[in-house]
């Protein structure tokens, strides 16, 4: 008997990707590679949380895996890149502070963009 397909969006299936990196910037070529990588993340729909921390919403684990592969292919030769995925439910527990004031966490996109 075939398993039922779940088409409803669930906070346990939707993912957030955190990309954290430490890239060398000692030479002009290294700075160029680091800038190219940051611009790649922005072009892929990531937003900067901190200078070397970017995050993005993905509608499923499969979609997150696509982004992870693309990041792996685009990363510079030198430096470290860490990718952490968490569910939307886990992300809902995030506490974000700016200075002494607490900020609201970014909201999920209202709709999925298809390209």
> What are the boundaries of each domain within the chain?
15-93
pLDDT score at 80: 97
Cβ neighbours around 71 below 10 Å, total = 21
Q: Which of the residue ranges 7-11, 14-18, 106-110 would you say has the lowest mean pLDDT?
A: 7-11
Q: What is the mean pLDDT of residues 45-69?
A: 95
What pLDDT digit, counting tens, does each position of 81-94 carry? 999 999 999 998 88
Give the residue from 29, 19, 15 showing the smallest Cα distance to 80.
Answer: 19
Helix H, strand E, coil C: the string for the chain is CCCCCCCCCCCCCCEEEEEEEECCCCCHHHHHHHHHHHHHHHHCCCEEEECCEEEEEECCHHHHHHHHHHHHHHCCCCCEEEEEEEEHHHHCCCCEEECCEEECCCCCCCCCCCC
Please give the distance of CA 20 from its chain centroid, rounded to a whole number: 9
Whether pLDDT at 17 is above 70:
yes
Which CATH fold would you assign to the domain 15-93?
Answer: Alpha-Beta Plaits (3.30.70)
Whether pLDDT at 115 is above 70:
no
What pLDDT digit, counting tens, does each position of 94-111 carry? 888 878 766 666 666 655
What pLDDT digit, counting tens, does each position of 24-46 carry? 999 999 999 999 999 999 999 99
């Amino acid at each position: 008997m075939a398993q039922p397909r779940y088409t409803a969006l669930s906070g346990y299936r939707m993912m957030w990707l955190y990309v954290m990196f430490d890239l060398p910037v000692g030479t002009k070529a290294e700075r160029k590679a680091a800038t190219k990588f940051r611009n790649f993340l922005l072009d892929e729909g990531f937003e900067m949380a901190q200078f070397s921390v970017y995050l993005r919403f993905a509608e499923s684990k499969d979609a997150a895996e696509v982004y992870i592969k693309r990041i792996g292919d685009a990363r510079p030769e030198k430096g470290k890149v860490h990718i952490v995925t968490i569910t939307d439910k886990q992300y809902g527990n995030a506490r974000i502070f700016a200075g002494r004031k607490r900020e609201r966490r970014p909201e999920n996109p209202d709709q999925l963009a298809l390209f």
